Amino acid sequence: MAEVLRALRLYVLLQRASARAALQYRANTVIGILSGAVWQGTGFAFIWVIMHTFPSLAGWGLAEIAFLYGLRLTAHALAMIPLMSVNDIHWLVLNGEFDRFLLRPLNPLVQLMGNRMGIAQFGDLLAGVALLAVAGRSAHVQWNGWLVAFCAAAIVGGALIEAAFFLALCSLSLRLIDTFALRVFVDDVFSKFGSYPMKIFGGAVEWLFTFVLPVAFVAYVPASVVLGKLGDPLAVAAPLLGVPLIVLAYLFWRRNLDHYQSAGH
């Protein structure tokens, strides 16, 4: 526990330093946040156009899909804000700069996570929370204490699921060097397929995105519970899936770290 608290304190200090550095260029910071929000807004605009052609997708209306989109986007932002700098790992390994993280008596992953702050992802977070609030009202969600707690847990759980896959793929760069294309592919799968009701894909694809690559558990299953579209009592346990996945991802990171060889070896 003491080691975990020390790592958390180190991460907070590193992120605070990154925030101070980013705020030296305030206009750039504001543009970065706004660009993230606008980029995600264009993604939802595409859904809005589709819904004006097809008023219902697998029984989901525009407000309900907007809620699903907002839930996924908020979880995505919470996953990527602390992990965005880990996305640079292939460059650090290729250029031999990752070695400096190993020379310090500090957790290499925590150092890497605190290397820089994901500014645009704060725009994703703002867009996701705003969409959740507006869509929840438009979809007539009957909020109560339990639903609010479940929704919060679902966002954290979804963030852990996405973070687990992202961290696992980044870990491969310690041995395979460049896994950027694979990470982009998986991120596209989560963002594109995770923003729609799984029922529209049907059959093998729905099964694949539920039990193999658990895209459905990031937002679709929790949103179905909140919107009253899923009666399976086990669905309320969906947010818990992120916990074992992130633990496995970290163990996978540690295993690949043990096999890391510096550039040129």
Report the alpha-carbon distance of residue 187 to residue 180 in Å, rounded.
10
**pLDDT number for residue 107:** 86
pLDDT digits 0-9 by tens, 21-48: 666 777 777 777 777 677 777 777 777 7
DSSP 193-205: HTTS-GGGT-HHH
Band (pLDDT 50/70/90 cuts) for residue 256 is: very high
Q: Is 60 helix (H, G, I), strand (E, B) or coil?
A: strand
* Res. 253: pLDDT tops 60: yes
Q: Tokens for 2?
A: 């003491």
Q: What is the mean pLDDT of the chain?
A: 85
Please state, in angstroms and rounded to a whole number, the distance separating the CA atoms of residues 21 and 23. Answer: 6
Q: Is the pTM of this model over 0.75?
A: yes
pLDDT in tens, 118-128: 777 888 888 89
Domains of the chain, residue spans: 2-258
Count of helices and strands (H, E) across the chain: 13, 0
Give mean pLDDT, residues 145-171.
Answer: 94
